[in-house]
């Protein structure tokens, strides 16, 4: 979906709202402070535009990774077999944070935080822009700029709820030295667009790290998890972790006026509840593994995790900067990593691979129903579609039609 004229029109705004993933980059890019972000419980974080301040410059639409994602040419020295479904990858590793505490509290093997720790303690970085639970409302996330170990410790673990780190790009822009950014694939894609728009921001981005992401559930998903745990009053929640403190670790809620800890397993939380609360654009995402990042990390789910096993991360190196940085982090003991075979990636991430293969068919059907869809370039959707059997193709088409009718996506969306 591209803007026909240079100026943003109402159709662009509405399409952007529907295809939004809540990264918050539009708020940062707006030159007139016309955008505020609102976390809508059933929907996710969405931009609210103050029409009186908006001068229709279209910067918010230009930066939005929900509307358009484009790859340039890939370098030659990448894994040629993986590039069709996973983007540019020059090396794969499996391993964990050198620091035992970070490995334990991290979501997988704590590698994202280990790379951040190396940035602030050894590599001379000014800080790390990412997200953490809001101390005033642990069911919401806020952007944070971490500059030391104590601050990084508050950010470990995956937060399966809306988060908009990109609204705070200004931290990177104003920093006196290089900075790291950690976010979901859409957040990193927005960062890359922002870097093209702003040379000062561009010069301060030292490294972009992406976590894998199969989709952000709305806050309604978190509320459903609390209900399943037996928490009756969500305003009583003092702290809430989705996983971590073990691999994959339990979802845990603690309350203000009770000593009891409420828990659910990762399988009950993600597979049983949260995955049903995904946002529309996340279901249409071609990039679950952070193809625009220098380094991306996720879970090596290619084998059963035994109870009590220590955390492990699957690490993909995507750029020469990423390779250089990772090797230095390994040399200095911040990360402990070993080569992994390229077969572990598709084995670890089966469901997102299937989604990428289905995408071309799904988008075509949505277009037939005149529903705005994102514009993608360089994701090899045609070749991925060809990997499906006839039965799988039919299933993808029929389930898309069913969703369009049941969820009334064919109806024009109105935003107030």
Which residues of this chain interact with ligand FAD, rule CB under 6 A? 106-113, 130-132, 155-160, 163, 165, 182-184, 187, 211-214, 216, 244, 288, 297-299, 313, 349, 352
Side-chain half-sphere CA neighbours of 2 within 13 A: 8
Q: Tell the smallest beta-carbon distance from residue 376 to ligand FAD (Å).
A: 19
93 bridge partner residues: 315, 339
Q: Which is nearer to ligand FAD, 298 or 372 (CB)?
A: 298
Q: Tell the smallest beta-carbon distance from residue 334 to ligand FAD (Å).
A: 12
Spatial CB neighbours of 396, under 8 Å, sequence gap ≥ 6: 358, 361, 362, 388
Q: Which is nearer to ligand FAD, 352 or 404 (CB)?
A: 352
Task: Give the torsion through C-alpha atoms of 66, 67, 72, 74, to 10 deg.
Answer: 40
Torsional sign, CA 117, 169, 144, 68: negative
Strand-strand pairing, 335-339 and 251-255: unpaired
Residue with tokens 């104590």: 150
Q: Which is nearer to ligand FAD, 348 or 384 (CB)?
A: 348
Q: Tell the smallest beta-carbon distance from residue 164 to ligand FAD (Å).
A: 8
DSSP reduced 3-state for 71: coil
Tokens of 184: 């979901």
Q: Tell the smallest beta-carbon distance from residue 245 to ligand FAD (Å).
A: 10
Helix, strand, coil percentages for the chain (3-state, nearest 5): 40, 20, 40
Q: Tell the smallest beta-carbon distance from residue 390 to ligand FAD (Å).
A: 27
Q: Tell the smallest beta-carbon distance from residue 108 to ligand FAD (Å).
A: 4
Q: Tell the smallest beta-carbon distance from residue 56 to ligand FAD (Å).
A: 30
Q: Which is nearer to ligand FAD, 285 or 404 (CB)?
A: 285
Spatial CB neighbours of 101, under 8 Å, sequence gap ≥ 6: 153
Taking CB atoms, the residue at the shortest distance from ligand FAD is 298
Q: DSSP state, 286?
A: S
Task: Give the torsion through C-alpha atoms of 228, 39, 402, 212, to 10 deg.
Answer: -80
Is omega for the bond preceding 248 within 30 degrees of 0, making it cis?
A: yes
């Amino acid at each position: 979906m591209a803007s026909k004229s240079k100026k943003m029109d109402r159709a662009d705004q509405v399409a952007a709202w529907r295809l939004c993933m809540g990264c918050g980059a539009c708020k940062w890019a707006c030159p007139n402070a016309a955008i505020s972000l609102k976390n809508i419980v059933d929907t996710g974080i969405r931009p609210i535009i103050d029409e009186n301040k908006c001068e229709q410059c279209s910067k918010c639409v230009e930066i939005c990774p929900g509307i358009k994602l484009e790859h340039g040419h890939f370098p030659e020295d990448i894994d040629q077999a993986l590039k069709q479904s996973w983007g540019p990858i020059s090396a794969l590793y499996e391993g964990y944070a050198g620091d035992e505490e970070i490995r334990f509290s991290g979501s997988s093997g704590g590698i994202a935080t280990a790379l951040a720790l190396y940035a602030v303690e050894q590599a001379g970085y000014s800080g790390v822009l990412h997200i953490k639970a809001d101390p005033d409302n642990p069911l919401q996330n806020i952007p944070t700029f971490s500059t030391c170990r104590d601050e990084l410790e508050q950010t470990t673990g995956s937060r399966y709820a809306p988060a908009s780190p990109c609204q705070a790009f200004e931290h990177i822009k104003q920093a006196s030295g290089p900075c790291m950014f950690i976010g979901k694939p859409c957040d990193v894609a927005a960062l890359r667009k922002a870097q093209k728009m702003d040379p000062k921001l561009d010069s301060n981005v030292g490294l972009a790290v992406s976590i894998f992401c199969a989709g952000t559930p709305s806050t309604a998903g978190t509320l459903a998890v609390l209900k399943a745990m037996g928490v009756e009053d969500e305003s009583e929640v003092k702290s809430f972790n989705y996983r971590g403190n073990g691999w994959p670790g339990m979802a845990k809620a603690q309350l203000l006026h009770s000593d009891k800890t409420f828990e659910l397993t990762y399988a009950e939380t993600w597979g049983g509840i949260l995955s049903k609360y995904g946002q529309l654009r996340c279901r249409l995402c071609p990039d679950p593994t952070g193809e625009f990042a220098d380094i991306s990390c996720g879970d090596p789910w290619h084998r059963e995790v035994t109870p009590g096993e220590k955390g492990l991360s699957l690490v993909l190196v995507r750029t020469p900067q990423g390779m250089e940085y990772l090797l230095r982090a390994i040399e200095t003991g911040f990360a402990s990593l070993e080569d992994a075979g390229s077969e572990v990636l598709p084995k670890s991430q089966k469901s997102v691979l299937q989604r990428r293969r289905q995408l071309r068919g799904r988008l075509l059907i949505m277009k037939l129903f005149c529903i705005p869809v994102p514009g993608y370039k360089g994701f090899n959707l045609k070749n991925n579609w060809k990997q499906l059997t006839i039965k799988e193709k039919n299933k993808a088409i029929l389930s898309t039609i069913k969703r369009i009718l049941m969820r009334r996506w064919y109806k024009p969306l109105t935003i107030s």
